[in-house]
Structure 1
Amino acid sequence: MSGNLGQSSLHRKRRSGDPMSAYDGLPAPLRLWLSEAALPWLAASARRLWSKSRAKGLTPE
């Protein structure tokens, strides 16, 4: 093994996409909210919640 992986026999997980491009693709009000959130959110989770709330007719506020 190379790098700082140690002697672990566990397989490394590969990311299925670019997390920064997923974040950049979010609507501006949602990105603003995420930047001030107390806990970290995945872009996919935030987008899913955003889509569901918009489908219910809720406003960005």
Structure 2
Amino acid sequence: MGFIRSSFSFIAGTVCGIYIAQNYNVPNIKKLAESTFSTAKQVEEKYRKPKPNSRDES
């Protein structure tokens, strides 16, 4: 009885998540995260400070 009581919220959340994923247009989180990371990387490279000159050039 304790196992069912302790895992009820997990099971209910899983069932609700499956229902929502099948019946509504839910965005693909993995693709969204990858595109956001790619954009952030491009912005970081564009505005990065230039590297200081090495001592060999002096």
Same fold (TM over 0.5): no
Q: TM-score, normalised by structure 2?
A: 0.31
Q: TM-score, normalised by structure 1?
A: 0.30
* Structure of higher CA gyration radius: 2
